[in-house]
């Protein structure tokens, strides 16, 4: 839609720039302009719950600013309601509340009256700026043993999920994908079922508009989302301790196989613990996922060359998590439980050196 200082007609969508933002409404006459709220001359003094759809005269609507009329192109004209329908729709909503600057503002209202669809170019620009902000957010959830996997979007992921005959693996694949859905909604506000997901030949899932990485283990799953390269790995500490308890020699051999020369020099003659191994392993896994190497060769991944954070969280102390990526220093952690998502406080995040405490 283009904007022009033409003569106003009943049913026109109009706007006036008040301060740094546009105020939108529906023109009926010089004495009747219907808009969601009065001109935003003092937004700070007005609470959202106080804003209502109101009828004012043109001078009150404009608040001294210049008024423009929306001029539709051919496609928009075919989608638009008649002038009578537009005015009737606007009048029927007089007194309506539920205002939200980002999600239900005066531009949403005007577009809904004209086209029957709630949209806002100002919101789209604000969302685009928000989604491009630097971020590195890790989401973690427990996986209940009675979790019943359901179909997910896209269909290819559903087929992959149910392909395994192992019920525990099916639960883990389902849980981590649902966790991704929560992470995308919380971090970007995208409609998950409209995202363009792709799976590469090496099995990595990607989506347009953001970066993500998935990991799951016995009892828990983790997802990291960012707008730059990122990777995550999660491991069950108690399960691995139980597995290696009877074979410390095997653990020592495995540790030597995954260390670079530099890392081996730093280890010296120290007998590695299960925690030593898990810290190193999760870091290497997360780095591999973040930087999209074609083959995972642990003894060639020098962990000190990459930004990586390894930690536990107090609510789930039996799980060790490593996240790596260009925005890794901006780490935020969220716990998803019983359908609710909350941010983990700094006091609930244990650094790597306390991970085995």
**Mean pLDDT of all residues belonging to the chain:** 90
As given in the structure block, the two tokens for residue 302 are: 């020098």
| Better-predicted residue by pLDDT, 189 or 174 | 174
Cβ atoms 93, 53 nearer than 8 A = yes
Q: Three-state SS for 323?
A: strand
Tell me the average pLDDT across 81-109: 92
As given in the structure block, the two tokens for residue 352 are: 């790597």
Longest dimension (CA), the chain: 87
Q: Three-state SS for 97?
A: coil
Q: How far is CA 348 from CA 238, 284, 313, 335, 343, in A?
A: 19, 24, 5, 11, 10
Q: Three-state SS for 292?
A: coil
Cβ atoms 255, 276 nearer than 8 A = yes
* Residue 228: pLDDT over 50: yes
Q: Please report, in angstroms and rounded to a whole number, the separation of the first and last CA atoms in the chain.
A: 61
CA dist 30 and 10 (Å) reads 10
* Residue 131: pLDDT over 80: no
Model confidence at 357, pLDDT cuts 50, 70, 90, reads: very low
Query: Phi/psi class of residue 98: alpha, beta or left (left: φ > 0; alpha: ψ in -120 to 50)?
Result: left
CA dist 42 and 100 (Å) reads 15
Residues sharing a CB contact under 8 Å with residue 235, sequence separation 6 or more, in sequence order: 217, 278, 281, 282, 319, 320
Model confidence at 81, pLDDT cuts 50, 70, 90, reads: very high
* Residue 130: pLDDT over 90: no
| Better-predicted residue by pLDDT, 10 or 253 | 10
* Residue 45: pLDDT over 60: no
Q: Which helix (H) or strand (E) holds 61?
A: helix 58-62
* Residue 264: pLDDT over 60: yes
Q: Which pLDDT score, from 0 to 100, does residue 89 have?
A: 97
154: preceding bond cis by omega (within 30 degrees): yes
Model confidence at 126, pLDDT cuts 50, 70, 90, reads: low
Q: Name the one residue in this structure whose structure tokens are 């007998």.
A: 271
Q: Give per-residue pLDDT as tens, 266-325.
A: 776 677 889 999 999 999 999 999 987 678 899 999 999 999 999 999 999 999 999 999
State what percent of residues in the chain have pLDDT above 70.
Answer: 93
Structural domains in the chain? 2-129 (3.90.1720.10), 132-354 (no CATH)
The strands making up 349-351's β-sheet, listed across from edge to edge, are: 230-236, 316-325, 308-313, 349-351
Q: Give per-residue pLDDT as tens, 9-29.
A: 999 999 999 887 899 999 999
* Residue 356: pLDDT over 50: no
Q: Name the one residue in this structure whose structure tokens are 């953001």.
A: 210
Q: Give per-residue pLDDT as tens, 60-79.
A: 999 999 999 999 999 999 99
* Residue 42: pLDDT over 60: no
């Amino acid at each position: 839609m283009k904007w022009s200082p033409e003569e106003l007609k009943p049913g026109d969508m109009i706007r006036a720039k008040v301060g740094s933002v546009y105020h939108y409404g529906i023109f009926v006459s010089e004495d009747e302009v219907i808009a969601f709220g009065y001109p935003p001359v003092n937004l700070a003094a007005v609470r959202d719950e106080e804003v209502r759809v109101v009828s004012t005269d043109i001078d009150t609507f404009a608040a001294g600013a210049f008024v423009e009329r929306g001029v539709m192109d051919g496609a928009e004209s075919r989608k638009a309601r008649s002038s009578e329908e537009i005015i009737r729709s606007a009048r029927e909503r007089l007194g309506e509340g539920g205002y939200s600057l980002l999600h239900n503002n005066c531009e949403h209202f005007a577009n809904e009256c004209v086209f029957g669809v709630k949209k806002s170019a100002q919101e789209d620009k604000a969302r685009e700026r928000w989604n491009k902000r630097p971020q590195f957010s890790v989401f973690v959830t427990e996986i209940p043993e009675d979790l019943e996997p359901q179909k997910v979007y896209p269909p290819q992921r559903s087929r992959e999920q149910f392909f395994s005959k192992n019920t525990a693996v099916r639960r883990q694949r389902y849980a981590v994908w649902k966790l991704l859905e929560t992470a995308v909604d919380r971090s970007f506000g995208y409609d998950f079922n409209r995202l363009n997901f792709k799976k590469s030949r090496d099995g990595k899932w990607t989506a347009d508009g953001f970066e993500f990485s998935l990991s799951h283990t016995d009892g828990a799953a983790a997802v990291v989302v960012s707008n730059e390269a990122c990777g995550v790995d999660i491991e069950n500490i108690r399960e691995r301790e139980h597995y290696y308890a009877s074979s410390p020699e095997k653990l020592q051999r495995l540790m030597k196989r995954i260390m670079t020369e530099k890392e081996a020099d730093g280890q010296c003659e120290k007998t590695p613990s299960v925690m030593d191994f898990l810290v190193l392993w999760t870091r290497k896994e997360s780095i591999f996922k973040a930087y999209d190497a074609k083959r995972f060769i642990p003894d060639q991944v020098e962990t000190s060359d990459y930004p990586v954070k390894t930690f536990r969280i107090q609510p789930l102390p039996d799980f060790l998590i490593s996240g790596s990526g260009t925005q890794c220093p901006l780490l935020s952690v969220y716990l998803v439980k019983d359908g609710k998502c909350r941010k983990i406080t700094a006091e609930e995040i244990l650094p790597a050196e306390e991970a085995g405490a």
